Amino acid sequence: MAKEITEIENSSNKNKKPIALIKKRDRGLVDFNNSKISNAIYKALMAAGKADYKLAERLSEKVVQKMDQQFSVFDTNRIPSVEDVQDMVESILIEEGLSETAKAYILYRHERRKIRDEKKKILNKKDLDEVDKSFDINSLRVLASRYLLRDNNNEIIEDPKSLFERVAILVTIPEILHDTELYSNTDVVVQNITEAEEYYKKIDDFHLKLKIGNHYLNNYHFESMIRHYIHLAKSGHMKISFKDLLRLIAEGHLSKYSDRIIEYYNLMVSKDFLPNTPTLMNAGAKLGQLSACFVLDMKDDMSDIMKSSTDAAMIFKSGGGVGINYSSIRPEGDIVASTSGVASGPISFMRIIDTITDVVKQGGKRRGANMGIMESWHPDIEKFVTAKTKPGIFENFNVSIGIWSDFWESVINENNHRYTLRNPTTHEPIKQIDSHQLLDLITFSAWKSAEPGVIFFDNINKYNPCINVKAGPLRATNPCGEQSLYPYESCNLGSINLANFVKRNIDGKYEFDWQRYEQAIRLSTRFLDNVIDMNKYPVEEIEHNTQLTRRIGLGIMGIADLLFTLEIPYNSKEGYEFMNRVAEALSYYSMEESVAIAKGRGPFPLFNQTDYVEGKMIPVAGYYEIPKRHQSYDWDSLVEKIKKYGIRNSWTTTIAPTGTLSMIADTSNGVEPVFALVFEKRVTVGRFFYTNRIFENVLKENGLYNDEILTKIANNYGSVRGLSEIPEKLQQIFVTAIDVHWTDHLLAQAVWQKWISNAIAKTINMPSDVTVEDIKAAYLLSHELGLKGVTVYRDGSRHEQVLHITGTDKEKKFIVKPSAYVTDYIQSNIKEDYVMKQVEKVFRDTEVMEVAADNTINISQSKLKMNMTASPNEYNEYEACPSCNARLIITEGCNMCIECGFSSCMSG
């Protein structure tokens, strides 16, 4: 009998198959993945102070072996559930004598259950799908509060999966219409436009009636398809009628584009790339406005001023922000010939836009943002500089001073600092001022209130390929300053999450995945080019001018988290060299892909009028300023391709603010260092800490994770510098914004700026005790480093703190000094004597401070107050988030809430 049983079991073992499927909690089936068990056990081991991944893998193998025995021998039809697997893990941990790890795993299961329940509550769902599970709770809160569509009762009517699908479908429509069977870039074909226009009346009839593969087009997708078809047909590019297009879709002949929908969908769901906020909100939805930033003109004419004001209102209503250069308006007190009256000046017209912004909410969800610019030669420049020094004035505006080379030449001239102010309408000289006094006024205002910023129009236009066409030089930017635009031009932005592009080697160390990064750049470039065609522009002139240049702004986020993973200090030689290569790749591959798009669809319409044609000018400073032996890519070959085929997009790269997008992707902001590794949050039921996820894992792996150390880090301004409990290597790797000297902040921005065709949103963080001279030196150095603009933030100005720290025991246990690399770089590369004198003084002051402090500095709360001009009561005030009333921080040149994702900037 025993022999017969053994034979039956042996027969069963021969016939059994390894476990291939797992039953999810929603009863669906997914492929069995052993690594998920290993990762879960590893987390439990870390929590128990036994971080050993090889042990986790060995225990995982035991779990699989036991599951094979239980589920495959006598009942081949039974598929294990997730709960079965987790029960088995507990059993193995106990059998192996790992009681503490088993306890940690049980707590982990309980915590995961709480998280699942919280996610269901946020999304108002009974079951979670794989996309819901892939986003953390904070990400889902941001998506639910700002992005997911709602009905008239404000109830959520879509989930994240549906959101990303509706965006992916919309941006695939241009791919369909440019299919070679439908579209010709060379022949001129006449189609019946009226027939296509008739379908506007039938939009609702086609809601969810057509599909590409398994992806149904809603009525707004259909409307966008009509609009783009008509645009292409008017240019004579469509080979078939609109009715024939619908027939091809209905018969499934274009279902191959389902693959492209899936590509775009996966690009976003994986959090490898996210488009700017308006695209996520409005793509495939009623509003249909997809751009983050716009620039309007404001001439010295009342009808033009009123038109610009009306257009601004339409932009705010559609969900965008506006930049306006007010320099063309005559100064206050000037005589108006037509009425013999006295001009009220440009600042008065800023008040009109400020009031409109208060009244009109963006897309019905939040107030818009503005950039007000005045150039340094304007007679009202001193009034403009000080316009925002008092709280409550122009709160809907960022303000910046536009600088040209003549001003800087006056500043650095040792013998003559006279600078001429001119009437904008007559161009006649009004008076001369001392350029140093104006620069001192600008820097004092920035020291006091963090504004104005400075925009270097000479650097912006140095490599402007469109400068010789009708539009001339660029003279305005979007609200956050990173995107210079011509009047009535818009830009579509998006950001690649660098933190995702790592792969693990056999030794357990991580390296950057350059091949996958290239693929993401190429696909994201196509994505953004398609957004231009799908956009429902708020003003007709904006559509026309945006189509002329087809400017896009592909950027990045997550550099700080990526450097943490790669164990590269942000402000180190290795860090700067790595960022340089990442930035170069971004522009090179985006431009190369733009050329590939131009081969099939044609270059941007103004191409033949630009300096691109003869290869004289591409908008990338590094091509001209970095020796070829230090370049990683064959730029000369790319220039030849542009001359031969054209380029689809006049500019391709921008580093935009990514505050909200970073929260969705659970990564660090833009090119910024993290603002804090640990910060404290107090709620009604107690207090807890937010900890950077990568840093938290490293603390656990090193057995350092506990409430005591988290409290010390939070009270050390979120930094590990100067804490004896933290190994020196980790102190070097895990740097925060406050750890990085402002000269290193500037150099980091300059490294990126060499290869980014537009500009960069970044905050140059400074401690509260810096002087006005420090800020002046920062402005001078910024210009010499080739930056296109700079935003300086001194901790404590504007009343809110740069770090979101609520503890009362703050004690800064370190001083910040320039890195050796930035010191050498500045001394080797800055040639202007006046600039070097100012910067060297900063270096000397830092050295004196370091000696006096005996390598350690304790800055108490009272000392911070003494360094402030504000009263103690004012110091304790802060700017509250308009959505949730939490404290705002300053990052990427924007106010941002780390509780709900609100950002005063529009792009992210």
Active site positions, annotated: 478, 480, 482
What is the bridge-based pairing of β-strands 29-31 and 361-362?
A: unpaired
DSSP alpha helices (H): ranges in 602-723? Answer: 621-625, 635-645, 659-665, 693-701, 707-715
Contact 614, 567 (CB under 8 A): no
- Bond from prior residue into 452 cis (ω within 30 degrees of 0): yes
**Of 172, 309, 290, 355, which Cα lies nearest the Cα of 538?**
290
Using only C-alpha atoms, the chain has a radius of gyration, in whole angstroms, of 29
Where do the DSSP E strands lie in 666-810?
A: 678-683, 686-691, 763-766, 789-794
Measure the N-to-C terminal CA separation of the chain; round to a whole number of Å.
72
Structure tokens at 383: 């009034």
φ and ψ at 348, to 5 degrees? Answer: -65, -35
Distances (CA, A) of 737 to 10, 496, 746, 762: 64, 21, 12, 11
Maximal CA-CA distance, the chain: 118
Cα gap 669→659, rounded to integer Å = 6
Strand partners, 489: 295
Cα gap 436→434, rounded to integer Å = 5
Structure tokens at 277: 């906020």
Report the run of H or E that residue 237 belongs to, with start and end.
none
Strand partners, 22: 30
Contact 295, 478 (CB under 8 A): yes
Structure tokens at 128: 């979670």
DSSP helix/strand/coil, 158:
coil
Structure tokens at 486: 């011509």
Structure tokens at 40: 């879960």
CA atoms within 13 A on the CB side of 385: 24
Q: Which amino acid is at 646?
A: G
Q: Which amino acid is at 776?
A: K
Cα gap 199→863, rounded to integer Å = 69
Contact 803, 679 (CB under 8 A): yes
Q: Among all chains, which residue has been given the structure tokens 């915590």?
A: 111
DSSP helix/strand/coil, 689:
strand
Cα gap 586→845, rounded to integer Å = 38
Contact 653, 491 (CB under 8 A): no
Cα gap 626→629, rounded to integer Å = 8
* CB burial of residue 724 (10 Å; 0-12, 13-18, 19+): exposed
Contact 73, 36 (CB under 8 A): no
Cα gap 541→526, rounded to integer Å = 24
Report, in this order, helix, strand and coil percent for the chain, each rounded to 5. 50, 15, 40
Cα gap 525→529, rounded to integer Å = 6
**Of 370, 324, 322, 326, which Cα lies nearest the Cα of 344?**
326
Contact 278, 907 (CB under 8 A): no
Cα gap 660→791, rounded to integer Å = 20
DSSP alpha helices (H): ranges in 651-759? Answer: 659-665, 693-701, 707-715, 728-733, 742-753
**Of 898, 864, 878, which Cα lies nearest the Cα of 679?**
898
